[in-house]
A and B are shown apart, each in its own frame.
Chain A
Amino acid sequence: MHLQLAWRNIWRNPKRTAVIMTAIIIGVWSMIFLGALMRGISEGMVRNGISTLTGHIQIHHTGYRNDPVIENSMPDPEAVKTVLNKVLAPDDMWTFRVRVNAVANNARHTEGVTFVGIDPAREADISFIGKAVTEGRYLRDDDTNGIVVGKALMDTFETGLGRKIIVMSQDTNREIASRAFRIVGVFTAEMEATEKQFVFVTMTAAQQLLKLKKSISEVSLVLPDQNAVAQVAKQLQAALPATEYEVQTWLDLLPLIRAYLDIYDKFMYIWFIVVFIAMGFGIVNTTLMAVFERIREFGLFKSLGMKPLWIIREVLTESFFMLLIGTAVGNILSFLSVFVLSGGGIDLSSFASGLEFAGMSRIIYPAIYGRDVIAANLVVFMLGLLVSVYPAVKAARFTPVEALTHT
């Protein structure tokens, strides 16, 4: 009957109950839905970062990360390949790359670029470039002088498919090496900066230009299970001589994104608290109103022999019901909102340049994390009950005589 009493009491003033439940619903919805948007943004940033040639793990010659010069190449890729075959699972993917800073120019323009020599077939499974060519074609193994450039770079150079572009860099003899390549494909990327930064040729062409023989600059790996990254990186580092090779995960390679993720995590919980504070005032206020409206009734309860603790329990049970319904509906609404947006996402292309600055995708797909949902519900539920203690104690502290004579 305690439950019945509490349940019926919350419906004594349906308008007031509806107002506070709406506040709880909006609070829970905003916590979960906006949390999912933020997770979607950070996931997009990670996805972009990983697919823009980073991968989950990279192997370099020791010192390459600090000084990515051609001297810090790995001269014996076969040794690395042997380790990869030994350590990796069949589903894990990897590719070799030559990667140096270079200057690209044509008759009118000159730009600094990252010159990347790739294994076209393997690279297509690892990074964005395999699916990013929108004009012309992707590289083939036998492309000795074909080059794929970004659309933004092509526009800057005022050039087009079939035209030549000259790439200059330093070779292993510390001489300037340069060569003309013909544009066979144009790629578009999530960010304009990527389109301007990277130019792709086959690995053989890059090795020939830079006189690298069989040397490579980096190995990039993508694992089907992202949770296995740290473990695999550890195994690879153990299997490779530490004096010659360094193995790093995407968290080491993308420190800015890592910092963003940390900030997002903290911001999320600050957001939860801010929403709750606004909602908490509503809960306290409404519950206090309900308590003061029923002072005589609490006096009656006491005169009938109800102990103060039981009165506190009674008021808290009423809050419990309101919180239960509010959080349930808030959860359903937020899941529905995420479901509706999960297909097309939220297209923010019109803000693309601003988003790019922050490393965000143009389209945000909300991502619900179980721990965020649990945290949001716990915050609302536990703190909701906690703030209801004040009006409940207030109700329990009326003396029967003053309560019964209250008008």
Chain B
Amino acid sequence: MNIVECIDVTKTYQQGKIVVTALGGVSLSIEKGGFVALAGPSGSGKTTLLNIIGGLDSVDSGHVTVNGSNLDAMNQSELANLRLHNIGFIFQAYNLIPVLSALENVEFVMLLQGVPSAERRERARNILDDVGLKDTYNRRPAELSGGQQQRVAVARAIVSDPAIVLADEPTANLDSKTGQGLLEMMKEMNEKKKVTFIFSTHDKMVMDYARRLVLIRDGLVAGDEVKEGSGESESRDRGN
């Protein structure tokens, strides 16, 4: 079953007087439970595609369906609702809320979802324990290392059991050892909880970990490789 379906998606940006084509007609399907890397050089359009899948950005043309919802037909409030209940985000710059502790950062999404206080505290503690941050509940982001901050971000992304986690260059600011640890952790989450992970990356290590590698170049899908024995379905690249 496909959790993400992109059909002929185009997106252009205006930079001054120049129109830049970020996506030139991308069609892509991703199966539920996938561990997929969108790889490509800087400016290839992989982050734009990730943002469009996450409902953070709109398409110029084409159609995007996420977890059964047609994003074209949704307004801002409905998109916010979709993100809140279906999508977790992990950013390159961690993007934790600086005035909240690690525990509170993880609780934040559940707070927006209306989860009762006691339950959200327990779930946040459990997930922080799972990502190896048992002793950092009350530390604020500024008091955590980069790796710890990204673990908190991962914990925040998966704590409310989303259908998909979208990770934009999650290892870009981490050293290789910390990055590997983080990828191991996400892989484990993917295997245990069947959460779909979609990465945008140009980190070789992320590409190695991914079970499916979609190569984006100049706003088009330039390649789609499913690794042997990974269990991922064959490429669903349409018309690129």
Contacts and interface: CB of A to CB of B under 8 A. Distances in A.
Interface in B76-107: 76-77, 80-85, 87, 89, 91, 95, 97-100, 104, 107
Given A304-B84, A307-B77, A1 B111 contact: yes
A306 B99 contact: no
Interface stretch (A5-13, A100-108, A138-146): A5-13
A303 B108 CA distance: 12
B144 interface: no
Interface residues of A, number: 22
Contacts of B51: 400-401
Interface string A299-315: 01011111110100000
B99 A5 contact: yes
B99 A296 contact: no
Given A303-B83, A307-B81, A310-B112, A1 B107 contact: yes
Interface string B52-65: 00101100000000
A238 B233 CA distance: 101
A135 interface: no
Contacts of B156: 304
A17 to B, nearest CB: 13
Contacts of B113: 305
Contact of A304 (B77, B89, B99, B100): B89
A305 B56 contact: no
Interface in A1-48: 1-2, 4-5, 8-9, 12
Nearest to A8: B99
Given A303-B54, A305-B109, A310-B112, A9 B83 contact: no
Contacts of B112: 304-306, 310
B80 A307 contact: yes
The size class of the interface chain B forms with chain A is 20 to 34
B80 A305 contact: yes
A389 interface: no
* Residue from the set A303, A307, A400 with the largest chain B CB neighbour count within 10 Å: A303
Contacts of A304: 83-84, 89, 108-109, 112, 156
A67 to B, nearest CB: 77
Contacts of A9: 99
A165 B77 CA distance: 91
A300 B108 CA distance: 11
A297 interface: yes
A177 interface: no
A1 B77 CA distance: 22
Contacts of A308: 76-77, 80
Main secondary structure of the interface of B (DSSP, over half): helix
Given A1-B104, A5-B99, A404-B95, A305 B111 contact: no
Interface string B32-60: 00000000000000000001001011000
B172 to A, nearest CB: 15
A5 B100 contact: yes
A5 B97 contact: yes
Given A303-B54, A401-B56, A297 B97 contact: yes
Nearest to B51: A401
A12 B97 CA distance: 12
Nearest to B97: A297
A258 to B, nearest CB: 56
Interface string A57-95: 000000000000000000000000000000000000000
A8 B95 contact: no
A176 to B, nearest CB: 90
A285 to B, nearest CB: 22
Given A1-B108, A401-B51, A303 B56 contact: yes
Nearest to A12: B99
B26 to A, nearest CB: 17
A235 B34 CA distance: 92
A303 B77 contact: no
Given A1-B108, A310-B112, A400 B77 contact: no
A401 B82 CA distance: 16
A129 to B, nearest CB: 69
A65 B217 CA distance: 99
A7 to B, nearest CB: 9
A9 B80 CA distance: 23
19 contacts: A1-B100, A5-B97, A304-B89, A304-B108, A304-B109, A304-B156, A305-B81, A305-B83, A305-B84, A305-B85, A305-B112, A306-B112, A307-B80, A308-B77, A310-B112, A400-B51, A400-B57, A401-B51, A404-B91
Interface of A: 1-2, 4-5, 8-9, 12, 296-297, 300, 302-308, 310, 399-401, 404
Interface of B: 51, 54, 56-57, 76-77, 80-85, 87, 89, 91, 95, 97-100, 104, 107-109, 111-113, 156
Given A304-B156, A401-B51, A404-B56, 15 more contacts: A1-B107, A1-B108, A4-B104, A5-B97, A8-B99, A12-B99, A296-B95, A297-B98, A302-B56, A303-B54, A304-B108, A305-B80, A305-B112, A307-B81, A400-B51
Closest 7 CB pairs of A and B: A305-B84, A8-B99, A400-B56, A305-B83, A401-B57, A307-B80, A300-B95
